[in-house]
């Protein structure tokens, strides 16, 4: 084992440790930085390939630990590659930055086992710090390198992470986070503050969070559990699942189901292809659901409902409320039946495929429409 010491810049302290695995021709380098504590602490972290883990800091300052892993034909070659990985950092309060750099002359093609299989004509690139870097799953042509980062985050700070290839995980962080990866999962647990999670391909999972959550994935599932927050969830392909929570939900998926269970607050669910299933709703002021192809079911206490708008291109609608407000609901079907059984409600059929349901004084307004599929509005069946 060989140790190398790195001279620290005035505002940063750094250390390095190199270890070799003789059997695998692998070199590992560990380096660490500490930024000065500041009341307006903000940090932008950029990494090309590897994992990023976020943890709370105890001293009010950002700490970054980088673990570099390289593989080559020999220990000497792997160590040379590990030393070639560079870092650029600036400790500047609200404008602090940290960047992991893989010089293109030493890393012309970077190995990524999840990149598409290379073809004779095709190459795969990823944008990083204003450059297009070539990646490949062919280990014979690409350099094996990864930089895994651990960032300790002070409370009430602001952290932005751009990790192009690899997952991001946060545990117990009480700060505003903006997390972005081109390909990789994003997960946060026991956090507080605003959370922006954006991945081009990968799942997003949030658990036990307080604060706004904005989750976006091009392809992957979004799961949010035990969240007291305003939720915005968008996936191009994949399901959106929200389990237990309070606040509001806006969920949009191009292809996939939207499932919301035991949630208190307003809901707006939209899917191009997939079902919307809402169970255990309460404290709902606005309920909106739209599917191109798929049914909508909603169950819960709807006594606080002020606005209802449900539309399906193809799929039935079933809404069951243990409590209903005074509301006038217009219902239209292109093909299908209309049924209503709500205490204090009067159903008037305007013609084939059209009806109005007036509950109580009909104070609030609602609309339900299907291109193809029946509509049922009711109270829960009473126990015998």
Among residues 179, 208, 243, which one ends one of the domains? 179
- For the record, the structure tokens of 366 come out as 């609602």
In a domain, 78, yes or no: yes
- Supply the DSSP string of 224-287, one letter for each residue: EEEEEEEEEEEESSS-EEEEEEEEEEEEEEEES-EEEEEEEEEEEEEEEES-EEEEEEBS-SEE
pLDDT of residue 123: 87
Q: Name which of 55-69, 76-90, 113-127 the model is least confident about.
A: 113-127
Q: Is residue 12 located within the same domain as residue 161?
A: yes
In a domain, 273, yes or no: no
Among residues 179, 206, 227, which one ends one of the domains? 179
Express each pLDDT in 131-158 by its tens digit.
999 999 999 999 999 999 999 999 989 9
In a domain, 31, yes or no: yes
Q: Is residue 319 located within the same domain as residue 174?
A: no
In a domain, 243, yes or no: no
Residue 188 has pLDDT above 60, yes or no: yes
Residue 260 has pLDDT above 90, yes or no: yes
Q: Is residue 167 located within the same domain as residue 294?
A: no
In a domain, 217, yes or no: no
Percentage of the chain beyond pLDDT 70 is 92
In a domain, 69, yes or no: yes
Query: What's the number of domains the chain is made of?
Result: 2
Residue 230 vs residues 194, 242, 257, 262, 269: alpha-carbon distances, Å: 10, 12, 20, 15, 14
Q: Name which of 1-10, 31-40, 62-71, 370-379 the model is least confident about.
A: 1-10
In a domain, 254, yes or no: no
The reply to whether the predicted model has a pTM over 0.75 is yes
Q: How confident is the model at residue 234 (pLDDT cuts 50, 70, 90)?
A: very high
Q: Is residue 153 located within the same domain as residue 36?
A: yes
Residue 22 has pLDDT above 50, yes or no: no
Domain around 369: 287-384
Among residues 145, 179, 213, which one ends one of the domains? 179
Q: Is residue 167 located within the same domain as residue 296?
A: no
In a domain, 228, yes or no: no
Q: Is residue 15 located within the same domain as residue 156?
A: yes
């Amino acid at each position: 084992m060989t140790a190398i010491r790195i001279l620290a810049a005035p505002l940063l302290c750094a250390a390095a440790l190199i270890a070799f695995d003789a059997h695998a021709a692998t070199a590992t380098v560990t380096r660490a930085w500490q930024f000065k504590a500041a009341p307006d602490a903000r940090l932008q972290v950029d990494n090309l390939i590897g994992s990023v883990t976020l943890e709370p800091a105890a001293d009010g300052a950002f700490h970054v630990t980088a673990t570099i892993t390289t593989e080559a034909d020999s220990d000497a070659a792997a160590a040379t590659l590990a030393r070639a990985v560079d870092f650029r950092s600036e400790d500047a309060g609200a404008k602090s930055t940290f960047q992991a750099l893989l010089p293109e002359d030493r890393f012309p093609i970077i190995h990524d086992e999840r990149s598409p299989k290379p073809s004779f004509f095709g190459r795969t690139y990823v944008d990083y710090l204003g450059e297009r870097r070539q990646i490949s799953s062919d280990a014979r042509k690409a350099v094996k390198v990864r930089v895994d980062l651990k960032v300790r985050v002070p409370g009430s700070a602001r952290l932005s992470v751009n990790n192009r290839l690899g997952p991001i995980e946060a545990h117990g962080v009480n700060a505003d986070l903006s997390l972005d990866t081109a390909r990789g999962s994003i997960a946060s647990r026991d956090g507080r503050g605003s959370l922006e999670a954006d991945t081009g391909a990968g799942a997003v999972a949030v658990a036990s969070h307080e604060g706004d959550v904005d989750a976006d994935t091009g392809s992957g599932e979004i799961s949010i559990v035990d969240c007291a927050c305003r939720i915005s969830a968008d996936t191009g392909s994949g399901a959106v699942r929200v389990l237990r929570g309070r606040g509001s939900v806006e969920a949009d998926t191009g292809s996939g189901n939207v499932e919301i269970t035991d949630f208190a607050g307003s809901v707006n669910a939209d899917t191009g292809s997939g079902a919307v299933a809402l169970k255990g709703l309460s404290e709902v002021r606005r309920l909106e659901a739209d599917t191109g192809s798929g049914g909508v079911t909603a169950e819960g206490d709807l006594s606080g409902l002020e606005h209802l708008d449900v539309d399906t291109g193809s799929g039935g609608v079933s809404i069951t409320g243990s409590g209903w407000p005074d509301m006038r609901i217009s219902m239209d079907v292109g093909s299908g039946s209309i049924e209503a059984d709500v205490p204090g409600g009067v159903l008037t059929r305007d013609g084939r495929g059209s009806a109005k349901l007036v509950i109580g004084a009909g104070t609030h307004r609602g609309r339900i429409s299907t291109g193809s599929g029946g509509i049922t509005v009711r109270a829960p069946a009473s126990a015998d």
